[in-house]
Amino acid sequence: MITVSNFTKNFGSKTLFEDVNVTFSPGNRYGLTGPNGAGKSTFLKILQGEEESTHGTVSLPKRVGILRQDQFAYDEYRIIDTVLMGNATLWAAMEEREKLWAATDFTDEMGIRLGELEGIVAEENGYEAEQEAEQLLQGIGVAQEKHTELMKSLPNDLKFRVLVAQALFGSPEVLLLDEPTNYLDLSSVQWLEGKLLEYKGTLVVISHDRHFLNTVCTHIADIDYETVIVYPGNYDDMVGMKVQSRSKIEMENREKEKKVAQLQDFVAKFGAGTRASQVQSRKKEIQRLESTELKKSNIQRPYIRFDVKKTSGIEVVTATGLAKSYVQPDGSTLEVYKSIDLSIGRGERIGVIGNNGVGKTTLLRMIADDLAPDAGVVKYGHEVSIGYFPQDYKSGIDIGMTSFKWLEGFSNDEGNEVLSGLLGRMLFSGEARLKMTDNLSGGESARLIIAKLMLQQNNFLILDEPTNHLDLESVSALAEALEKFTGTVIFVSHDRDLVSQVATRIIALSPDGMTDYTGTYEEYLEKYGKK
């Protein structure tokens, strides 16, 4: 169980949380939601003990599994040892035991201590620990032959998977997971869902993947009105209840404003007359009503719309004989594509799926002319104009300038009013437009690139993981915009709801080759028995 009492958190003059009291009970799985900037990660860091609250207390059980965000902190440790560190008590006992075993001047006291350590290892199920760690690593997609290698031998996405396994290891009483589906392919996400559905402790998880939240969560802890409001059910259940709740609040506020206006009219009319006691009574009632005025909701939803300046020809892209290989750090050659052919027609919405490492980003980069193939050719059709959202999107944003100035660099005849309007639609209002690009968060960077794509009005969009770092409201707005887009789009995403909602054609990549299926994602799953 997690108990949060009288919890307040301020950043300067800004209040994120005020006098929050909430309990997270065992056996429940809570999705922590709220827009970017609402304080989700801050709240989780305070629960983890990594940050202090301004006021209040947090109570947790002894054994807590935490998804660490520093992918380089364990570079000099073996992969399997990194997982074992998820149980700090067990790991400390194993390390001390190892040192005692290695001692040359063994004493009676050391022997007694060694016996105590063996007891701790047994209590913590240490004799089956490596087997459990291996199962977690294999489930999350790290091959068994890699388990005894150092963490620094892994690419960043696999390092993140190891940290997910670390958080799950050792049957923690509480699990605190911040964006656990980042860097996971669809099969790994499904494996993680299965593990969490079996979990019997208290789970608090932040995720921008609506499908994941709907599958896993029994409750939603929504951050709004400077507090945490717990709703029973999954994310979609919460949205329905919240809409009803907000409608009720708005109606009550309108009634309250009407009542205050009537009271103020009475005070203005009889304030100088003989009905002083009644006037004073009305004034007190006005103060009471005004003092209970509800805080403003922090929900913000961007408005995304991709217009097309010029329509392309019927054939948008024809790729023939594409081949691509990479030289790996150990000097060996990794062949991603031997020969791939692909034709994309106007108006198609193509979702590219597949496990990490099969070449999804490589394919999109070659189509976007951002990466030259070793062999083969990519030809573009008549009047095709490309808007590209790269996976490493921050590399495309120049630093040392304001967000407005960066967007202005892509403007033709558009004036300041149009640019300000675009930024406002992407939640850069007022002073936020002058925020330096160096200081943008992940969500802000993604929304700024989307603003650029809206400005350019390209007829062919190539999007590589556009939902990473976007909050749920922004992901929903992007999905709706792509559904209505009259041009052509090819995109990579591990967000199953986005793929299901947008794609009319699926390209599934695997080590065995490419499956090209015309139809929705649900139809693809049904045809190939992947449900």
Of residues 247 and 358, the one with the higher pLDDT is: 358
Contact, 387 vs 263, CB < 8 A?
A: no
Total residue count of the chain as it appears in this document: 531
pLDDT band at 232 (very low <50, low <70, confident <90, very high): very high
The type of residue at 136 is L
pLDDT at 478: 94
Q: Mean pLDDT across the stretch 73-89?
A: 91
- CATH 3.40.50.300 for domain 315-527: yes
Rounded to 5 degrees, what are φ and ψ at 356?
-60, 140
Which residues touch 140 (CB under 8 Å, ≥6 apart)? 161, 162, 164, 165, 184, 188, 191, 192
The type of residue at 491 is F
pLDDT at 393: 76
Which residues touch 74 (CB under 8 Å, ≥6 apart)? 82, 85, 151, 159, 162, 163
Q: Mean pLDDT across the stretch 41-56?
A: 85
**How distant is the alpha carbon of residue 279 from its chain centre?**
54
The β-bridge relationship of strands 174-178 and 202-206 is: parallel
pLDDT > 70 fraction of the chain, expressed in percent and rounded:
96
Mean pLDDT for the chain overall: 87
Could you name the CATH architecture of 2-237? 3-Layer(aba) Sandwich (3.40)
- Residue 443 tokens read as 């969500």
pLDDT band at 290 (very low <50, low <70, confident <90, very high): low
CA distance 475 to 467: 6
Q: Which tens digit of pLDDT belongs to each residue from 131-172?
A: 999 999 998 888 899 899 999 888 877 888 899 899 999 889
Q: Which tens digit of pLDDT belongs to each residue from 364-419?
A: 999 999 999 999 999 999 999 999 999 887 777 888 999 999 999 998 877 888 99
Q: Is 114 exposed, middle or buried (0-12, 13-18, 19+ CB in 10 A)?
A: middle
Q: Mean pLDDT across the stretch 198-213?
A: 91
Q: How many CB atoms lie within 10 A of CB 148?
A: 10
pLDDT band at 319 (very low <50, low <70, confident <90, very high): very high
Nearest to 421 by CA among 340, 515, 303: 303
Contact, 177 vs 204, CB < 8 A?
A: yes
Contact, 468 vs 446, CB < 8 A?
A: yes
CA distance 202 to 175: 6
pLDDT at 103: 80
CA distance 417 to 428: 13
pLDDT over threshold 60, residue 295: no
Q: Which tens digit of pLDDT belongs to each residue from 114-123?
A: 889 889 889 8
pLDDT > 90 fraction of the chain, expressed in percent and rounded:
40
Of residues 247 and 482, the one with the higher pLDDT is: 482
Nearest to 188 by CA among 200, 180, 198: 180
pLDDT over threshold 90, residue 317: yes
